Structure 1
Amino acid sequence: MDSSFYESDVAYTGAPSHNGKRGLGTDKQPFLVVLSTEQENQYPLYIKLHEVTSDSGNLIQEFFDQYVKMSNERKLNTDGKTTYNILKTRLQVINEAIDYDKEDHRLYFLNKIISNLNQYLLHVYHGVSKRMLPLYYGEYEWRFNHRKCRTIMDKIKNYITQSGVATRKMIRDYVDQYAMARGLEIS
């Protein structure tokens, strides 16, 4: 991702928690969302979704090193979590608490995207197992990032003609390998 402004948050996907807790105490699946925009708090350009095992600064730093172009001229808006402070030497991190009651708060579009993703998983797929979540994150990310593409059918045609048949076993094996490489729990 290459932009002057980023927004990021760790969100949670899943059914209501059995323990009744929210945020860090929940047993829902955490995932990291990074959104790029042309101007601060403006219409989003691209997103990147990534499931994480926990909400930690080291995981966030690894993700940003791999996927986000960083420099001191670029800004990152977050919601006040201290886990983003690890990036302060490489980005301008605006890490303040947000008043979500205000209609035009700093993470407005990011929160809309997270809400849409959760509704998409709930109402389109009627729930997804934790094991298959990376595939659905990838699909949602691809759909969002290609939403303005005029020749989408040409791209899809090229992908289909260049790809082979993937059996259910092949997909299951790939998901298992992915989970093991990330150190995720296979359920």
Structure 2
Amino acid sequence: MNILEVQKKYNTQLKCLKLLEKLRWGKIVKCPYCSSKKTSRQKTEKTRHSCKNCKRSFSVLVDTIFEDTRLPLPKWFAIITLMLNSKSGISAKEIQRNIGGSYKTSYYAAMRVRIGMLIQNTKLNGMIEMDESYFGGKARKTGKHTDNIPDLASITNKRGRGTNKVSVAGMVQRKGMVKTKLIEKLTKRNLLFMLKTYAKKDNSILITDGFRSYKELEKYIDRLEINHSKSFSKGIVHVNTIEGFWSYVKNGIRGSFKAISKKYLPLYLIEYEWKFNHRNYRGDEFDKFLKNALKQDKELEYWKAKDSKQVKEVAYGT
């Protein structure tokens, strides 16, 4: 749906709540605290329910990305629509200009929406490409601000392996989904753990370049290797799909965000994963996102714990 359709269909708080209740519970309301189905709608406040088992009251927003928010749900829905329809990403400042309110509200709402984009239990299968990429700005010139420069791409101009930029490993299933993970050290142990977590071993073939850490993975899964010193593609043996994804991510970051921090880089990667994984989706992506977002309470709590520390923003576009 586009933003005009969303604003017309869900222009009140009550309409938004009814949609969320339908997507989360269906016809039977379930208590988020004790999982009891013995509940009743409160007479005084129709947006809340009471549990007859644990005697607590709750709304559909409990344990979701919308919990404890003061931002009206119609504005939440507008932000979600803007982010889903912006295929290269949209900055919090741009959201603020479209929605109004403060920059801080737009920033934290966008972060929560990214958490809602996380797809759990991803399992890739078939022809799987694996490659790593490095995120960090160009090395800065030494000068009076040298002492305040974080140790990320601030010493060397070197690109690729051996740089001090942030390393991210990625896997993509041909004509399927992509999964990324920020990995400080690209050792065979760390890469194998990622492979076991996000890919099925049976009936799968892993395709990589000649990086030595990938060679050890063939003890676990069948592997094909493309020698980039000779060619970038040899029939079905190539990693062009995952390299295309890296290009998509970096161009999006450069164009929409300019600078992001290492701490929150995983959240931006989640957003680009969602967009890539739904590139050919023909259903209602808005409803699909809401269904997925209503399950991300644990991830929200994880990132809430990190919000207390301030992080300097560093360019990650190149």
For residues 113 and 100 of structure 1, do their structure 2 counterparts lie closer, same or farther at Cα, with a shift above 3 Å needed?
farther
Amino acid of the residue matched to residue 285 of structure 2?
I
Note if contact 1:32-1:49 (Cα within 8 Å) is conserved in structure 2.
yes
Amino acid of the residue matched to residue 153 of structure 1?
F
Does residue 124 of the first structure (1) align with residue 256 of the second (2)?
yes
Question: Which residue number in structure 1 is paired with residue 275 of structure 2?
Answer: 143
Does residue 20 of the first structure (1) align with residue 157 of the second (2)?
yes
TM-score (norm 1): 0.77
Report the alpha carbon displacement of residue 154 of structure 1 after superposing the two structures with TM: 1.4
Question: Which residue number in structure 1 is paired with residue 244 of structure 2?
Answer: 112
Relative to total residues, which structure has the larger strand share, 1 or 2? 1
Percent identity between the two aligned chains: 21
Q: Which secondary structure state, in structure 2, belongs to the residue aligned with residue 70 of structure 1?
A: coil
Note if contact 1:84-1:95 (Cα within 8 Å) is conserved in structure 2.
no
Does residue 75 of the first structure (1) align with residue 197 of the second (2)?
no
Note if contact 1:45-1:145 (Cα within 8 Å) is conserved in structure 2.
yes
Does residue 86 of the first structure (1) align with residue 208 of the second (2)?
no
- C-alpha distance in 2 between matches for 1:46 and 1:6: 10
- Within-5 A mapping of 1:43-82: 44-71=175-202, 73-82=203-212
Asked which structure has the greater CA Rg, the reply is: 2
Give CA-to-partner distance per residue, 1:23-73, whole Å, 9 cap, x none: 222111100110101xxxxxx3110010001111000011111111013x4
For residues 156 and 80 of structure 1, do their structure 2 counterparts lie closer, same or farther at Cα, with a shift above 3 Å needed?
same
Give CA-to-partner distance per residue, 1:122-173, whole Å, 9 cap, x none: 1111121101101111111122112233120112344567778xx9x98452
For residues 133 and 162 of structure 1, do their structure 2 counterparts lie closer, same or farther at Cα, with a shift above 3 Å needed?
closer
Note if contact 2:135-2:167 (Cα within 8 Å) is conserved in structure 1.
yes
For residues 111 and 175 of structure 1, do their structure 2 counterparts lie closer, same or farther at Cα, with a shift above 3 Å needed?
farther
Amino acid of the residue matched to residue 156 of structure 1?
F
For residues 170 and 56 of structure 1, do their structure 2 counterparts lie closer, same or farther at Cα, with a shift above 3 Å needed?
closer
- C-alpha distance in 2 between matches for 1:96 and 1:162: 39
For residues 161 and 112 of structure 1, do their structure 2 counterparts lie closer, same or farther at Cα, with a shift above 3 Å needed?
closer
Unaligned regions of 5+ residues in structure 1, if any?
Answer: 38-43, 177-185
Aligned pairs, how many? 169
- C-alpha distance in 2 between matches for 1:29 and 1:83: 17
Give CA-to-partner distance per residue, 1:83-129, whole Å, 9 cap, x none: 01222122111124124566987112221111111111111111211
For residues 175 and 117 of structure 1, do their structure 2 counterparts lie closer, same or farther at Cα, with a shift above 3 Å needed?
farther
Note if contact 2:124-2:177 (Cα within 8 Å) is conserved in structure 1.
no
RCO (CA 8 Å, sep 6+): is it higher in 1 or 2?
Answer: 2
Note if contact 1:75-1:91 (Cα within 8 Å) is conserved in structure 2.
yes
TM-score (norm 2): 0.47
